[in-house]
């Protein structure tokens, strides 16, 4: 079969032949892959810079995708083997059945973005109707989904930060009530945040940036009257470290948690995939949840692997 084959960590995957994976037990099911997205996690794993690793090399890359089982059932699943390939092994019944109304490409790209946004809000942020939610770094693919799902879950106010002016404007039509341009002067950003917090205390900060942008948010919230604020970190696009004095956490009601592989329990993850993702697929098929992606061909994998996607978009490999 043809696949995006990684021969050595830190090199580009190549369009090449790879043996069709063989089921090792009754729980292994062969899936015909139709589409798989390329995510930052996929790139980091292939580079050897992620805390998860491959069992062996060479291997097909890609952690998830959409396709069809031999009995004709259309599914989205995580792969036991690499998913940017014509065929992959998945674990029996650990998949999400696709509604007829959704295409393979949307089904391939949406779930991972949901896990990095909506699942984080649900399980780590405990979002409730009436909450005020700040999405820090909302102009990426996952951040745009976070804005939409926060509003869908009843957030009374959604604040979105980012640097891309065009996407910030787009987010206003996706559910953002207030947008903050992080290209502005840090003092101006802090002043705008202070005005927001004085009128509506922030309940959840879903953070994709870490680094100095989050430091500014913490400083502002720390000066406000006591109010429980849950910061959920999902990424570190602005830096791997922050300066956080112990006194800040001891003198405020700020709580910090992370969301990623390992932070959500297997039961929560299974419930989310079986109950929530199908609802999101339905919202997407009705045009009530949108995600931007650009379709590319498997044969072009080496050329596009490290190519920068259009802002707020993601590559989806059509197989």
The answer, yes or no, to whether residue 192 has pLDDT greater than 90, is yes
- pLDDT of 214 reads 97
In this structure, the strands spanning 28-38 and 87-91 are antiparallel
- Average pLDDT over all residues of the chain: 96
Q: Alpha-carbon distance 277 to 259, whole Å?
A: 17
Q: What are phi and psi of 91, to 5 degrees?
A: -90, 135
Give 7's pLDDT tier (boundaries 50, 70, 90): very high
What was the pLDDT predicted at 260? Answer: 86
| pLDDT tens, position by position, 104-115 | 999 999 999 999
Given this model, what pLDDT does residue 99 score? 92
The predicted pLDDT at position 293 comes to 97
Give the chain's domains with CATH numbers.
Answer: 2-111+280-318 (3.90.180.10), 117-258 (3.40.50.720)
Tell me the per-residue pLDDT of 78-121, one tens digit each, with 9 for 90 and over: 999 999 999 999 999 999 999 999 999 999 999 999 999 999 99
| Helices and strands: H and E segment counts in the chain | 11, 16
CA distances from 174 to 93, 143, 155, 242 (A): 34, 11, 13, 30
Mean pLDDT in residue range 155-171: 98
Residue 49 has what pLDDT? 86
Confidence of residue 8 (pLDDT cuts 50, 70, 90): very high
Region 171-191: mean pLDDT is: 96
Burial of 302 (0-12, 13-18, 19+ CB in 10 A): middle
pLDDT in tens, 241-300: 999 999 999 999 999 999 987 898 989 999 999 999 999 999 999 999 999 999 999 999
Name residues whose C-beta falls within 8 Å of residue 313's C-beta, 6 or more positions apart in sequence: 141, 292, 293, 294
pLDDT at 191 over 90: yes
Q: What is the pLDDT of residue 237?
A: 86
Q: Please give the model's pTM, rounded to 2 decimal places.
A: 0.91
pLDDT bin (cut points 50, 70, 90) of residue 227 is very high
Q: Residue 174 pLDDT > 90, yes or no?
A: yes
Answer for the pair 134, 296: CB distance below 8 angstroms, yes or no.
no
Which pLDDT band, with edges at 50, 70 and 90, does 40 fall under?
Answer: confident
Backbone angles phi, psi at 62, to 5 degrees: 100, 125
Alpha-carbon distance 31 to 299, whole Å?
20
pLDDT band at 50 (very low <50, low <70, confident <90, very high): confident
């Amino acid at each position: 079969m043809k696949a995006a084959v990684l021969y050595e960590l830190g090199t580009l995957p190549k369009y090449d032949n790879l043996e069709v994976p063989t089921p090792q037990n009754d729980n292994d099911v062969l899936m015909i892959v139709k589409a798989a997205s390329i995510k930052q996690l996929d790139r980091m794993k292939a580079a050897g810079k992620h805390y998860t690793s491959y069992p062996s090399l060479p291997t097909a890359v890609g952690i998830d995708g959409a396709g069809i089982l031999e009995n004709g059932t259309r599914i989205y699943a995580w792969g036991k083997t690499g998913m940017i390939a014509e065929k992959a092994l998945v674990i029996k019944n650990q998949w999400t059945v696709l509604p007829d109304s959704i295409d393979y490409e949307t089904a391939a790209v949406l779930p991972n973005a949901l896990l990095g946004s909506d699942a984080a809000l649900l399980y780590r942020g405990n979002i409730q109707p009436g909450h005020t939610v700040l999405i820090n770094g909302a102009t990426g693919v996952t951040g745009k989904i976070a804005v939409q799902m926060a509003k869908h879950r009843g957030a009374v106010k959604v604040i979105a930060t980012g640097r891309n002016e065009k996407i910030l404007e787009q987010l206003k039509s996706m559910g953002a009530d207030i947008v903050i341009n992080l290209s502005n002067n840090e003092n101006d950003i802090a002043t705008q945040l202070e005005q927001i917090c004085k009128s509506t205390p922030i309940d959840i900060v879903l953070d994709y940036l870490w680094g100095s942008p989050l430091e500014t948010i913490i400083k502002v919230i720390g000066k406000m009257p006591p109010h429980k604020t849950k910061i959920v970190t999902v990424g570190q696009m602005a830096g791997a470290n922050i300066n956080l004095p112990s006194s800040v956490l001891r003198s405020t009601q700020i709580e910090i948690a992370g969301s990623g592989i390992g932070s959500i329990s297997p039961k929560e993850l299974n419930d989310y995939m079986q109950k929530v993702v199908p609802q999101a697929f339905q919202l997407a098929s009705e045009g009530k949840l949108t995600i931007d992606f650009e379709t590319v061909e498997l044969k072009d994998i080496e050329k596009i692997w490290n190519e920068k996607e259009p802002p707020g978009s993601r590559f989806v490999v059509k197989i």
